[in-house]
Chains A and B, each alone.
Chain A
Amino acid sequence: MSKVSKLDPEEVEIPTRLSVVEPRNDRIAAEQARWLQETYGKEVAERGERMPFVTDCGIDVRPLYTPADLRGRLDYCRDLGFPGEYPYTRGSEPGMYRVEPFVISAYSGFGDAEICNRRFRHLLELGAEQILVANDLPTQCGYDSDHEMAAAEVGQVGVAIDTLADMELLFDGIPVNTVKRVGTLCNSLGPVALALYAALGEKQGIDWSRYTVNLQNDPLKEYIARGTQILPPGPAARLAVDAVEWCAAHAPNWSPMTVCVNHINSGGAGSTKGSAIALANAIHYIELLLKRGCSIDAVAPLIHMFPDERHDFFVTVANLRALRRIWARLMKERYGASNPDAMRLRTTVYGHGQEALAEPLNNIARTAFGTLAYALGGASYIYIASYDEAVSTPGLDSIRVALRTQEIIAYEHGFSATIDPLGGSYFVEHLTNEIEDGILATLRELDEAGGALQVIERGIGRRIMTEGAVRRQRAIDSGDRPWITVNKWPEKPNVPNTAFRVDPASIERQLARLARVKAERDEKRVRAALAEIDRACAEDRNVVPATLEAVRAYATIGEICDSWRARFGSFVPSTDF
């Protein structure tokens, strides 16, 4: 002991297990059991517990966690390590928010490109550092604004984009290299969306190496959760990885794929099973890329994830930590990655709570806590829901509050002073372990069921989601999961008349612009480019070069998607429930 007190580094034994040495652990376990029975148990016997404490992802939360709960389950250097180092549990970057806070991101879009451009300029003035364009449903589903299916939906839930001309207008006065990232969801349009953002840089005279495009481009989850699928899942995944493969060669600084948990979790799967489904999807994309001869070290850094947990604060933190650890080990152990960037998982998240329709201002508190949890979990890019987002496209006032909430979390309260501040919490480390086990167990089941395509085709993903959604609804109806103004102090839900509406004039403008572009473009060049896309599809070549040419020639998104539909067929909607 005297040697240790001299603090001679040669003599000090650094414990590798978190905070405790084995023998004392036994004593803590015994003491914990005693406390649980005698002290805590006594009060609970008299007064009872308020409610069942079960997380939305299905973990029974115990009254107290101690070092004994981590016994044999946590080796500090093996399982936690250090920020910016394998296995990245404590953070993807070495300096985390001390060097640069999470990227303050805005997801926005409505109407036509002209009106939406004004909104983007406002967002940038308010401090947004990244813009993810919300597209309307016709755009996302590959229909032009003048298509029969588009009739009532043009510009409704996002901005309508038909051709490159719309993109030019959308980013008029906003050089793409003045934001940290720019991009969109367009999960079923991967190569088209990629080509539009690549051609936009060309139009603005900005080299691809000087800006960063981010796409969600994760079509597989659409069949399970979100519903903008266009093609059958096999060809859809193939086209999605075309975008990744092209970027690895031409724009390795872009992030052309973000594999999503968010819609799967919010649809009902829960964050643990949702994470497993998303990982199964990621594995499918990665294996398609490896089969083409790509190296894991070249493609994995281009693939990010979009984790999601909205119900339980500490689960949110633990889920992000667990996912980073799982990703690092998966890349290293299953795929033999050696590039640290391939093992370092970058995450995009969307700060939510359980937003309610009644008394919408309360949603500011909910989304702030949800966002704080993501920040404490070390997310790389953070979006936040506006308080009125459950009702409609947010107005400027509510967007201002949302962006300011992100900025407050990034800069005030000392939230980002130290890295992974909840690391080492007995509870959070225990949750991280439990969640990791849960995700890996479900992932094994999905692997055994045949992987991502089987999960879709056999309806496994949708079943997991519907069962979860029914369970959630029951927890709300029974009051087991308290929800203020819904099942506790209930108030009548109300969708106010002030809910955002799209100016019909902007829809007219969109239709007029589409007609004008079609009339003025070089029709022969468009036809030739579309024919080349079809040949690339048929011959199993990467479609991005042909798509880029088509986009430059002002082919419409609908025309390009029609060429895919003609080649691959359309998806068949499931009528199971």
Chain B
Amino acid sequence: MSEKKRIRVLIAKVGLDGHDVGARVIARGLLDAGMEVIYTGLRRRPDQVVRAAIEEDVDWIGVSILSGAHGTLLPQLRKLLDEQGAHDIRIMAGGVIPQEDIPVLKSAGVDRVFLSGTPISEVVDYLMQETAHA
């Protein structure tokens, strides 16, 4: 068996957006690809997501966001992680995010934005490539 540690991902819904099918499909897809996946359930505050991510010692937080609140909630998530010293936990986001917001989010510490409709395999490949211990 491989000695490699499995990639651990926390799939999160922050804010009030209740559309979580995309989040759950991604969660299943990553699980099928051999990763360890935890789902927060709906309507979490950024501080709750950060606490769960640290307690669960994940490599990635994957945030699904469709309500237009990404510009506020995602940078807040990064800031809270950094304040807790969890610089190694990385963030990816999925949803409907306008092109011009993507560089802004990247400079605010979001590693990657996947638009709705991205094949799951693309997300899996990205995480395999980008996770140091994978």
Contacts and interface: CB of A to CB of B under 8 A. Distances in A.
Contact of A469 (B15, B18, B24, B118): B24
A577 B98 contact: no
A19 interface: no
A153 B67 contact: yes
Given A357-B117, A493-B116, A153 B16 contact: yes
B40 A575 contact: yes
B134 interface: no
Interface in B21-63: 21, 23-25, 27-29, 37-45
Interface residues of B, number: 41
Given A470-B28, A573-B42, A495 B98 contact: yes
A222 B18 contact: yes
Contacts of B19: 226-227, 267
Chain A interface residue bracket vs B: 35 or more
B20 interface: yes
B117 A486 contact: yes
Contact of A137 (B38, B40, B67, B96): B67
By secondary structure, the B interface counts as: loop
Q: Which among A228, A356, A574, A577 has the greatest number of chain B C-beta atoms within 10 A?
A: A577
A227 B98 contact: no
A276 B85 CA distance: 49
B72 interface: yes
Contact of B25 (A148, A228, A469, A493): A469
Interface string B100-127: 1000000000000001111111000000
B97 to A, nearest CB: 6
Interface string A480-521: 000000100000011111010110000000000000000000
Contacts of B40: 573, 575
B17 A137 contact: yes
B100 A497 contact: yes
A64 interface: no
A149 B96 contact: no
A36 to B, nearest CB: 36
B94 to A, nearest CB: 12
A345 B90 CA distance: 51
Given A141-B43, A575-B41, A576-B39, A495 B16 contact: no
Interface of A: 137-138, 140-141, 143, 148-153, 156-157, 222, 225-229, 267-268, 356-357, 390-392, 465-466, 469-470, 473, 476-477, 486, 493-497, 499, 501-502, 573-577
21 contacts: A149-B16, A149-B45, A152-B69, A153-B69, A157-B67, A227-B20, A228-B18, A267-B19, A469-B24, A470-B29, A473-B29, A477-B120, A494-B115, A495-B98, A495-B115, A573-B40, A574-B41, A575-B38, A575-B39, A575-B41, A577-B11
